């Protein structure tokens, strides 16, 4: 039986939790978590992120068991999420299937939604060959590092997110075969039924509009910062930088390619604006991207690692990679 004082816990970001014994196994960890739930909850609020390493967590089922033992919240689906991903089992998904050579900047998962997840979990099934670190950042520090004029504008004007999802488009299927980038609304909402989509839109405070050829436009207006409900700390909490269509985010080649292809605004995946429908200056979006990059911590994976993040206090993203990489993910709220 493992005891809490047999763990080594670093004070780093993320905090690493390992056993002082070499032969500790998953079942011992599960029992320990059950007995010291509050200890792990407090650690998460303090450090923002922690990693269980070397506990023989071997597959998606083990990963789900660790999440359940922590009892931070109930599993939630990726409804409304825009990143292409596959469902592995029940509430465990692959992390993004976005193109490997794309750098995904820091963000909190689904932070553009009213009902955003409170925690995100990652599990390393296959270590990346080259690159492919998950990157993380402290959203408390990031808010402090933002230019106060930019923060004030974002807070005062609020953000309107617009997304366009296709239905049965041959062109979009072809584009996705070349490079998986767009999602259809049945994938986003996990249903083929339009009325079910509308029910889910209402529940999430999305405005929706059915467009030509059954494309769907959804819109929502959200604040740019948030106060953590338990720690009362203020954090940067939005995805304006991921919804803006610009070369700094996409890389020049991808940007120009997409600009030629998605010349119509109605088929562009995302748009971002202030709630009064005025444009956010490009230089302010670039400032946000710069601050995020300056506050990025790289986390190189080891097979079997489970990383737990408070999805309000901590942001995550992904470094580009080549070769094999399989990271699974799950959310709770
Ligand atoms: Fe994400």
> What is the C-alpha to C-alpha distance for residues 186 and 278, in angstroms, rounded to an integer?
31
Distance (Å) from CA 92 to ligand 1 centroid = 14
Answer whether 310's CB lies under 8 Å from 14's CB: no
Architecture of domain 142-292: 4-Layer Sandwich (3.60)
Q: What ranges in 247-281 are assigned the alpha helix state H?
A: 247-250, 252-261
Q: Residue 149 Cα, ligand 1 centroid: separation in angstroms?
A: 27
Number of neighbours of residue 50 by Cβ within 10 angstroms: 23
Task: Give the pLDDT confidence score for residue 264 in this predicted structure.
Answer: 65
Cα(311) to ligand 1 centroid in Å equals 10
* 3-class DSSP assignment, residue 7: strand
Q: What is the mean pLDDT of residues 201-215?
A: 92
Distance 102 CA to ligand 1 centre (A): 13
Q: Which residues contact 131 (CB under 8 A, 6 or more apart)?
A: 319, 320, 321, 322
Q: E strands, 177-299, where?
A: 207-210, 216-222, 225-227, 234-236, 270-274, 297-299
| 77 Cα–ligand 1 center, Å | 13
Spacing, Cα 81 to ligand 1 middle (Å): 9
For residue range 216-257, list pLDDT tens digits in order. Answer: 999 999 999 999 999 999 999 999 999 998 899 888 888 887
pLDDT at 185: 92
Q: Residue 295 — left, alpha, or beta (φ > 0 → left; ψ -120 to 50 → alpha)? A: alpha
Residue 266: predicted pLDDT: 65
Alpha helices in 36-146 (DSSP H): 37-47, 60-70, 139-145
The mean per-residue pLDDT over the stretch 306-313 comes to 98
**Residue whose pair of structure tokens reads 């820091």 in the numeric block:** 106
Examine the pLDDT at 82 and tell me if it is beyond 90: no
**Is the dihedral angle over the CA atoms 291, 139, 244, 130 positive or is it negative?**
positive
- pLDDT for position 85: 65
CA distance 299 to 48: 14
Specify the pLDDT at position 57. Answer: 96
**What's 213's DSSP letter?**
G
Tokens coding 13:
């970001």
Distance 96 CA to ligand 1 centre (A): 7
Tokens representing 65 are 């068991």
Of the ranges 11-25, 85-99, 129-143, 214-228, which one carries the lowest mean pLDDT score? 85-99
Query: How many residues are given for the chain?
Result: 333
What per-residue confidence (pLDDT) applies to 261? 65
Distance 108 CA to ligand 1 centre (A): 6
Q: How far is the CA of 83 from the centre of ligand 1 (A)?
A: 8
* Span from the CA of 21 to the centroid of ligand 1 (angstroms): 33
Indicate the domain borders of the chain: 4-129+298-332, 142-292
How far away, in angstroms, is 210 Cα from ligand 1 center?
27
Q: How far is the CA of 292 from the centre of ligand 1 (A)?
A: 14
Ligand 1 midpoint to CA 2 (Å):
33
Rounded to the nearest angstrom, the distance between the alpha carbon of 124 and the centre of ligand 1 is 15
The pLDDT of residue 160: 98
Report the distance separating Cα 13 and Cα 325, nearest Å.
Answer: 23
Mean pLDDT for the stretch of residues 68-81: 84
**Residue % of the chain over a pLDDT of 90:** 71
User: What's the CA-to-centroid distance between 50 and ligand 1, angstroms?
Assistant: 17
Confidence (pLDDT) at 24: 86
Q: Over the range 186-210, which residues count as b (16 or more CB within 10 Å of their CB) and which as e?
A: bbbbeeeebeebeebbeebebebee
Question: How far apart are the CA of 117 and the centre of ligand 1, in A?
Answer: 11
How far away, in angstroms, is 259 Cα from ligand 1 center? Answer: 24
Domain 4-129+298-332: assigned CATH number: 3.60.130.10
Query: 109 C-alpha vs ligand 1 centroid, how far in Å?
Result: 5
CA 23–ligand 1 middle distance (angstroms): 33
State the pLDDT at residue 172: 74
Strands 49-52 and 15-19: parallel
Q: How far, in Å, CA of 91 to CA of 99, rounded?
A: 23
Residue written as tokens 């900047």? 105
CA distance 301 to 280: 36
pLDDT, averaged across the chain: 91
Output the pLDDT for position 95: 82
Q: Is 302 exposed, middle or buried (0-12, 13-18, 19+ CB in 10 A)?
A: exposed
What is the rounded CA–CA span in Å between residue 145 and residue 290? 10
Distance 317 CA to ligand 1 centre (A): 6
Query: In CATH terms, are 4-129+298-332 and 142-292 the same topology?
Result: yes
Q: Calculate how far, in angstroms, residue 230's C-alpha sits from the geometric centre of ligand 1.
A: 22
């Amino acid at each position: 039986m493992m005891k809490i004082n047999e763990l080594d816990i670093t004070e780093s970001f993320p905090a690493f939790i390992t056993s002082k014994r070499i032969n500790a196994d998953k079942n011992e960890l599960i029992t320990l978590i059950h007995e010291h739930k509050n200890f792990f909850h407090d650690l998460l609020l303090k450090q923002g992120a922690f990693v269980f390493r070397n506990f023989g967590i071997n597959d998606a089922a083990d990963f789900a068991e660790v999440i359940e033992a922590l009892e931070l919240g109930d599993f939630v689906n990726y409804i409304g999420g825009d990143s292409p991903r596959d469902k592995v089992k029940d509430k465990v998904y692959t992390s993004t299937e976005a193109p490997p050579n794309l750098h995904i900047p820091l963000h909190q998962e689904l932070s553009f939604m009213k009902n955003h997840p409170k925690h995100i979990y990652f599990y390393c099934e296959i270590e990346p060959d080259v690159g492919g670190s998950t990157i993380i950042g402290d959203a408390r520090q990031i808010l402090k590092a933002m230019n106060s004029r930019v923060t004030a504008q974002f807070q005062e004007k609020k953000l309107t997110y617009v997304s366009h999802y296709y239905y049965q488009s041959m062109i979009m299927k072809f584009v996705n075969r070349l490079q998986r980038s767009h999602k259809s609304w049945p994938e986003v909402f996990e249903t083929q039924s339009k009325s079910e989509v509308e029910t889910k839109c209402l529940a999430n405070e999305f405005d929706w509009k059915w467009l030509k050829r059954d494309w769907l436009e959804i819109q929502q207006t959200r604040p740019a910062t948030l106060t953590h409900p338990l720690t009362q700390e203020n954090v940067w909490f939005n995805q304006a930088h991921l919804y803006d269509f610009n070369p700094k985010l996409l890389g020049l080649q991808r940007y120009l390619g997409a600009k030629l292809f998605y010349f119509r605004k109605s088929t562009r995946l995302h748009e971002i604006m202030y709630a009064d429908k005025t444009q956010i200056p490009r230089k302010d979006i670039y400032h946000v991207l710069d601050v995020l990059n300056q506050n990025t911590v790289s986390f190189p994976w080891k097979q079997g690692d489970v990383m737990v993040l408070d999805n309000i206090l901590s942001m995550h993203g992904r470094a580009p990679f080549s070769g094999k990489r399989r990271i699974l993910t799950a959310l709770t709220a």
